[in-house]
Structure 1
């Protein structure tokens, strides 16, 4: 059974090969017969017209028109000529479909990003009103409390600056005189100008010492942000340092005042006497207690600012996201325009290929083979049938050859172009 199948396959292969060979022979015979026909036609027409050059020109135009008609009616050859154009058209149409899908995807992405931008804008409007709806742990009224705290902190800060400028000048640089009152001696209205009059060192010391206390207050706030035993100890140490510094200022001022009113039998001024003096404690609490109030207000402000800052951070993030989304939209729109322009070029190429496919392709190089056969028949007739001297025959042949060359140049068969295409109007 297997042997029979094998023999049968061999028979089929043999038959296919024979069919191919027969087709090839038929094509060769058709071309040979066609050449022979053109040769005989050239011989016959030359005999009728005595090899006349004008007649040759007319005849060449006629056989070229005949060749064109034959090629137009040969559908199998026209299909073969159009195969490259059909293949290119199919490839371009596939690319058009692919690019159209890409274009649709880009349009969807652009629309999605535009919707996202609108949503972000809506969030920017709603977050300050309802931050908890967006997972932001912030108080809606934080900004009101913040500005109230600012209004309180400004006068307290001015008070501390005035107090420490005056007390530091009185403690370290002022020369007390008998007759000055206690309050007048502690709060010197001209402490700032007097310190700079005494010298730049005194002026800078008195000017910048209030900021040392405010710096200590800032550090207390920083350490208080993170609850820990170490930070608690640091805060306690800062309060102690501030209290000690205020006590030093009060002790120096009270000591200077005591020296003015000291009698012959009065004891030297020491801490025990300082602790008994009302002015000593007045100076401490006028500075230290207000300093604590300033620190509490400052800490409250910073916390309120943190609440407010949460909202600002959220708003800034969304503004940054809007900017990014807009940049992406611009890129997508730019890509969309580029693809649309490319699609228009591809569609134009398809239309051009359609015109080529619907047109008629004339193989002018192939025509040259048949035209040369016609010319050979024409020349053969001149040599065989025309009476006259050999010189006249040669002159006529030369003249006819010139006519043939002009014809070949006119139809383009003497150029490198293989085919000439007659485009359809639609």
Structure 2
């Protein structure tokens, strides 16, 4: 079997060589004899394989040991190729620089986030202190309103309750009075059996009005609200002390007095007609003014109406004093709620910042680990396993060439020996990683 046939057979048995990704030394450099350095190196390995095979009669078991020695020789040769090592390590050096820049960027980012975290925590603490202060003010406001520049009288609640207690019976009185007098003035028919008191204050006025019809009962039921509304207007006009309001207030009193006078006049007129004789003159205002009962009806309604308006105004003012404190409390309570929402939002932001800081720290640790790995690679020796595969194949080709040329055995036995050698070769490639996807192996300096 000639050398060419052995090489072709070997190529069929080997795994295709992947094109190296890293830049290596120039393969076109020549030695003093004009042969390229690569060809010279391949020839050297080929000759070594042929020579070693001749010493061991092509034994495949010995080939395994020889290939280990070949790999060690190849490794030592690669160590001596300084320029080639620098080129192989160039990508790792660049990556290390990029990783170091990334570390600086991550460190700055972490410091910024930590400063932001301190700011957020301080903001939460300030809000919490403000909330505690506001809650204390809410409790203290009713006792010391002047302490918080609130112009409100202490004890307003007690005065307010007293006013309400007085206002309720006066309101019931006015309702009873005006129901009775309005019914007597407009709907009641007087007879000789009625006494004066029964004529003015009829205890059954509302029931009689209901029996008389819807209009009558509606009128006597609603008319007290007219006077209560007039009393409410006293309070409204009295809030803003202007000439216009004082004029309106005076007109209001006049209208109320006239209305009470009409009621008194109608009642007194009916009583006068009931007792009138043929000699009696017609009833008029002059006669009405001389009747004590006329003035009694007016003042029983008008004066009490004024009293109701004054008490109502007092109650409303006390309620306003009470509302000042309540309003200030509500303002503070709303502020507390707003600050509580801000605190909850800040706490969520703090959680996100803490998570980001944790992720950044983890990334920094990983990046530093990668920098250490890169430094170990840079300090170590890079073995281009694909190149080794090329030269190892030359060595094995020399080994097999000797078998083909010099071993005197049958063709079948010779082919078996060659197959065993190729199998040993492939096992060696697997052991050193030359058949993997990796382009290079790294031998660390510590090794």
| Superposed pair shares fold, TM > 0.5 | yes
TM-score by length of 1: 0.79
SS at match of 2:225: helix
Alignment check: 8 A CA contact 1:38 1:373 kept: no
210-219 vs 195-204, which moves further: 195-204
2:49 pairs with 1:46: yes
Structure 1 gap segments, 5+ residues each: 1-26
Are 1:59 and 2:59 an aligned pair?
Answer: no
Kept after mapping to 2: 8 A contact 1:81/1:361: no
2:79 and 2:381 in contact (8 A); partners too? no
- Give CA deviations for 1:346-380 in whole Å, capped at 9, x if unaligned: 11122222222223449999724423432453355
Match of 2:253 among 234, 239, 242: 239
Name the CA shift for 1:65/1:158 in 2 (closer, same or farther; >3 Å): farther
SS of 2:437's equivalent in the other structure is: coil
Looking at structure 1, the residues matched to 217 and 193 of structure 2 have their Cα atoms a distance apart, in angstroms, of: 26
Distance 1:369 1:277 in 2: 136
1:17-416 matched pairs, under 5 angstroms:
28=25, 39=42, 42-43=45-46, 46-47=49-50, 48-49=52-53, 50=58, 52=60, 55=64, 59=68, 62=71, 66=75, 79-359=93-373, 360-361=376-377, 367-378=384-395, 381=398, 385-388=402-405, 406=430, 413-414=436-437
- Does structure 2 conserve the Cα–Cα contact (< 8 Å) formed by 1:167 and 1:249? yes
Contact 1:46 1:378 in 2 (8 A): yes
Query: Residue deviations 1:311-330, cap 9 Å, x none?
Result: 11111100110111111111
C-alpha distance in 2, partners of 1:87/1:51? 55
Contact 2:185 2:267 in 1 (8 A): yes
Shift of 1:31: 12
> How far 1:245 moved relative to its partner?
0.9
My pick for the range that moved more, 356-365 or 257-266, is: 356-365
Residues 245-273 of structure 1: per-residue CA shift (max 9 Å, x gap): 11111111111111211112222222111
The CA deviation at 1:52 is 4.7
1:234 positional shift: 0.9
* Larger CA deviation: 112-121 vs 282-291: 112-121
Change (3 A) 1:201 1:83: same
SS class of match (1:139): coil
SS in 2 for 1:146: helix
CA contact (8 A) 1:361 1:420 kept: no
The CA deviation at 1:274 is: 1.2
Report which of the two structures shows the higher radius of gyration computed on alpha carbons.
Answer: 2
Aligned residue pair count: 392
Structure 2, unpaired ranges of 5+: 1-23, 31-36, 406-410
Q: Which has the higher helix share?
A: 1
Distance 1:136 1:286 in 2: 41
How far has the Cα of 1:383 moved from its partner?
Answer: 7.2
Distance 1:127 1:420 in 2: 80
Question: Quick one: distance in 1 between partners of 2:435 and 2:206?
Answer: 108
Q: Distance in 1 between matches of 2:341 and 2:70?
A: 66
Deviation for aligned residue 1:208: 1.3
- Whether the 8 Å contact between 1:364 and 1:419 is mirrored in structure 2 is no
Deviation at 1:243, TM superposition (A): 0.9
Measure, in 1, the Cα distance between the counterparts of 2:29 and 2:101: 31
Q: 1:285 to 1:197 in 2, by over 3 A?
A: same
Distance 1:45 1:284 in 2: 143
Cα distance in 2, alignment partners of residues 119 and 126 from structure 1: 11
Contact 1:364 1:412 in 2 (8 A): no
Mean alpha-carbon deviation: is it higher for 138-147 or for 83-92?
Answer: 83-92
**CA-to-partner distance for each residue in 1:247-303, whole Å, 9 max, x for gaps?**
111111111111211112222222111111111111000000000011111111111
Q: Distance in 1 between matches of 2:219 and 2:388?
A: 116
